[in-house]
Amino acid sequence: MSLLYFLKPQRLQYVAALAQPLASCLNSGINRTPCPQIPPKTGLRQSSSPPVTMDDLLSKSVPPLAPYETKEKYPPPSERQSLHFMQYYRALEKEERATFLGKLATEFGVDHAQVAELSSKVVQAQQKRDMGTVLQVEDRLRYYLTPQYKVLFWHISKLEGGMKFLVDLRADLVESLSSKMADGPHIREMNGVLKSMLSEWFSVGFLNLERITWQSPCELLQKISEYEAVHPVRNWTDMKRRVGPYRRCYVFAHSSMPGEPLIVLHVALMQHISASIQAIVKEIPPSELEDGNKIKSAIFYSISLTQQGLQGVELGTYLIKRVVKELQAEFPQITEFSSLSPIPGFTKWLVGVLSSQSKESGKNELFLESESKEISDILGGPLSESLKRLFTSSEWMRSERLVNALEAPLMRLCSWYLYGEKHRGFALNPVANFHLQNGAVMWRLNWAADTSPRGGTSSCGMMVNYRYFLENTSANSVRYLRTKHIEASDQVLNLVSQFKRNSKL
């Protein structure tokens, strides 16, 4: 290196800045005065690159759709670009992610001009009845209907941790759409595209059924405890009971997401179909051995999707079917398969109906006159307003008088909510819709089945059994999906008839 390099003014200034503190350090001798830090080389070959913008990152990371003619031989993007995309996205805040996803969906979707041109060529070829050309152009059209971001997702899926990243990204998409943080046709389309891709990757043929026991990895037990969405796990003792004697816990897992349960199903093995969740989650001695003679019924009492990005991907239906086969092989004596299901949304629906009736007619037409008088005497105020306040908590369930007075009217109303309230012709309640699609029968509505605060506030303490008659589930499912017919027991139908006679909606 030449001497002239060091004689440049800025180099001399830097050397001078170093000299003085270093000299004092050397002269300090035995006192061992700490030497100062060497100052940064300001102005010396330092280049601070500007932060990467969203637009730059997207333009560099999202690979273009290969030309149709060379699609089979087009080189894939570098892994580094896809990894950079993942790192960048993970570092964003929630609001920034919504903006980022909006840009990705809007600016890197389908080439609409190309699609319009090819669509026109298809029409022209059909008019000429040239089927060879029609099929060729249709194949091109299918190819160019592929959004550009779909190519990116496909490449990310092949990276280590890429599948989990895409599942989490779709969870952000679902949340953004539900909260209106990011909305519009492009973002809804991207959500649908990613859901379709995940449905293929997580089809039942690629899933592993695993039984969870107390000997399963601690980390897995912890995740199952945290993911439980129906009946929260209180502590490790509670968790041990749920995987112990007379209980089964199963999960679906995927090889691309090791250590991550996708969906969890809890089963109670009992002598009869339970009408109370307290009978299932009560204390059971951990050392008790299973007696096969006491096991006649399998009760599905909790099913929880652990990955919100897999909403709409059909996992629960296949999980129940696989578990039924496992239980039949282990306990051939089981004759009854049923759920004990919560009724989320019933209290909210009921309060809405009470509000609507009081506004429109000024009086309550959901209860018999004798029921209204008895409840009003207990509450000491206008019925509708008192009930709306009452149902904001589960404290009313501590009053035996109220529990007895409300049983008949609330059982009627809940039966109608489950059987008669519809969304696009199907059951409004999502849990009911799930089990009915699986071919189950709406078998029994249970009063005071969940006396926990959560059960009281969400469904006034009621739960419902959806019973699986295995020889009829396929026919029931087809009938429900095609004609929207709900298969129900006499108990449920009688309650619905009582509602129609005694209530007005």
All domains of the chain, ordered by start, with CATH? Answer: 1-38 (no CATH), 54-110+146-201 (1.20.140.90), 205-339 (3.40.630.150), 346-502 (3.40.630.150)
Give Cα 199 distance to the centre of its chain: 14
Q: Answer whether 262's CB lies under 8 Å from 202's CB.
A: yes
Q: How far apart are CA 261 and CA 240, in angstroms?
A: 18
In what helix (H) or strand (E) does residue 222 lie, and over which residues does it extend? Answer: helix 218-227
CA dist 250 and 44 (Å) reads: 62
CA distance 337 to 269: 10
Q: What pLDDT score does 286 carry?
A: 54
386 has catalytic annotation: no
| 485 annotated active-site | no
From the candidates 256, 274, 302, 341, give the one annotated as an active-site residue. Answer: 341
Nearest residue to 86 via CA among 175, 168, 183: 168
**Inter-axis angle of helices 162-179 and 94-107, to 10 degrees?**
100
Q: How many CB atoms lie within 10 A of CB 373?
A: 13
Map residue 442 onto helix, strand or coil: strand
CA distance 119 to 150: 21
Catalytic option among 394, 435, 458, 459? 435
Distance CA 215, CA 269 (A): 20
List the 263-270 sheet strands across, edge first: 207-211, 247-254, 263-270, 297-305, 336-339, 463-468, 441-446
Q: Could you tell me whether strands 247-254 and 263-270 are parallel, antiparallel, or unpaired per DSSP bridges?
A: antiparallel
Identify the bridge partners of residue 426 per DSSP, sorted by sequence position. Answer: 423
Kindly list the distances between the CA atom of residue 314 and the CA atoms of 27, 195, 196, 317, in Å, as whole numbers in the listed order: 77, 11, 11, 6
Report the C-alpha gap between 450 and 456 in whole angstroms: 7
d(CA 109, CA 150): 8
Give pLDDT, residue 29.
40
Helix axes 79-90, 54-61, angle to 10 degrees: 150
Distance CA 367, CA 358 (A): 13
Q: Is the dihedral of CA 324, 328, 329, 331 positive or negative?
A: positive
- Strand, coil or helix: 90: helix
**One pLDDT digit (tens) per residue for the chain, 505 residues:** 444 444 444 444 444 444 444 444 434 443 434 444 444 444 444 445 567 899 999 999 999 888 888 888 888 888 999 999 999 999 999 999 999 999 999 999 999 999 999 999 999 989 888 899 999 999 999 999 999 999 999 999 999 999 999 999 999 999 999 888 877 899 999 999 999 999 999 999 999 999 999 999 999 999 999 999 889 998 998 999 999 999 999 999 999 999 999 999 999 999 999 999 998 987 665 557 888 889 999 999 999 999 999 999 999 999 999 999 999 999 999 999 999 999 999 999 999 999 887 776 656 788 999 999 999 999 987 888 889 999 999 999 999 999 999 999 999 999 999 999 999 999 999 999 999 999 999 999 999 999 999 999 999 999 999 999 999 999 999 999 999 999 999 999 999 999 999 887 7
| 3 state DSSP class of 191 | helix
Backbone CA torsion sign across 468, 472, 473, 477: negative
* Sequence-ordered strand ranges (E) for 419-500: 422-423, 426-427, 441-446, 463-468
